[in-house]
Amino acid sequence: MGKRFTATEKWTKNKWFRKLHPKHKLFWLYLLDNCDNVGVWEEDVELASILIDDKYDINSLLKEFNDKIKVFRNGKKWWVKDFIIFQYGELKEEHSTNKPHQSYIRALKKHRLWIDYKKTIQGLKEKEKDKDKDIVKEKEFSKFWDLYGKKVGDKEKLLKKFSALSDKDISAIMKFIPKYKESQPNKKYRKNPETFLNNKSWLDEIIEDNDSNKEIVEF
């Protein structure tokens, strides 16, 4: 099978892999080493059990690996969905000059997995977009946490609550906090951060001045 890339950080940063039982960790590594160059493995749990020197049950393996693999050809073949993207990056049909990539595309089509592969790529891209959004929200939350000043309560819980807010609400909150702090310079009298955000209760602190149409703070 030749040499392949491996992610050394899987032992510490991959929560899914970390939670696997040691015997399932070993089988997963065996699977990655014995699949073909597009991640397809001809099911032979019996041989794997002999070589690993442990007894395996197909149903328990499928339960552990769940959406990490696709079983096809009536269970005779397993496909590791993320294998290609990890080993080679994204495959694109228009890259006709990349001969290795073209051979991988042909292999996927031969296995009738090309459409599944493209769906997998799209799913990964969506996950990356969501991850980028989460990073932005975390940065905004850090600004909120520091600006608000009253650092009490469960920070992780508050981050989830903050991340669920719309960008419009977050922008309005950040603009309002300086006014709120000016009216309540002693932070012990300010609402706890969770109370401030809960059910948009921060809106309770704002009323409209009918004469000037400006926001003022009422206490």
State pLDDT tens for residues 147-186: 888 898 888 888 888 888 888 888 888 888 888 888 888 8
Angle, nearest 10°, between helix axes 45-52 and 22-34? 120
Identity of the amino acid at 147: L
Residue among 80, 61, 76 nearest 20 (CA): 61
Q: Please state, in angstroms and rounded to a whole number, the distance separating the CA atoms of residues 47 and 207.
A: 73
* Percent share of the chain, pLDDT over 70: 89
Q: Please state, in angstroms and rounded to a whole number, the distance separating the CA atoms of residues 204 and 164.
A: 19
* Highest-confidence segment of 39-43, 102-106, 147-151: 39-43
Residue scoring higher pLDDT (189 or 214): 189
Cα-Cα end-to-end distance for the chain: 72
Strand partners, 71: 78
| Residue 142, phi then psi, degrees to nearest 5 | -60, -40
Identity of the amino acid at 54: D
**Sign, CA torsion 187/189/195/196:** negative
Query: How much is the pLDDT for 173?
Result: 87
**Sign, CA torsion 8/12/14/17:** positive
Largest CA-CA distance found in the chain, in angstroms, rounded: 84
Residue among 73, 7, 72 nearest 81 (CA): 72
Query: Where residue 95 falls among pLDDT bands split at 50, 70, 90?
Result: low
Query: Where residue 208 falls among pLDDT bands split at 50, 70, 90?
Result: very low
**Sign, CA torsion 4/10/11/16:** negative
Q: Please state, in angstroms and rounded to a whole number, the distance separating the CA atoms of residues 199 and 69.
A: 41
Residue scoring higher pLDDT (212 or 203): 203
* pTM for the structure as a whole: 0.61
